[in-house]
Amino acid sequence: MKSEKSAFCEINVHGRLLAANQKFCSLFGYKAQEVEWHYIRDIFRYSKDWTAFIHKATSKAAHYIVRLKNRKGRSFMASISRDAIEINGKIVYRNTFQKIKDSAENPMKDCSLTEQELYEPQASIAL
Per-residue pLDDT tens for 101-111?
Answer: 776 544 434 33
In the chain, domain spans: 7-115
The better pLDDT of the pair 119, 114 is held by: 119
Tell me the C-alpha distance between 4 and 81, whole Å: 15
| pLDDT at residue 65 in the model | 87
Domain 7-115 architecture: 2-Layer Sandwich (3.30)
Q: How far is CA 108 from CA 26, 49, 50, 104, in A?
A: 27, 21, 24, 10
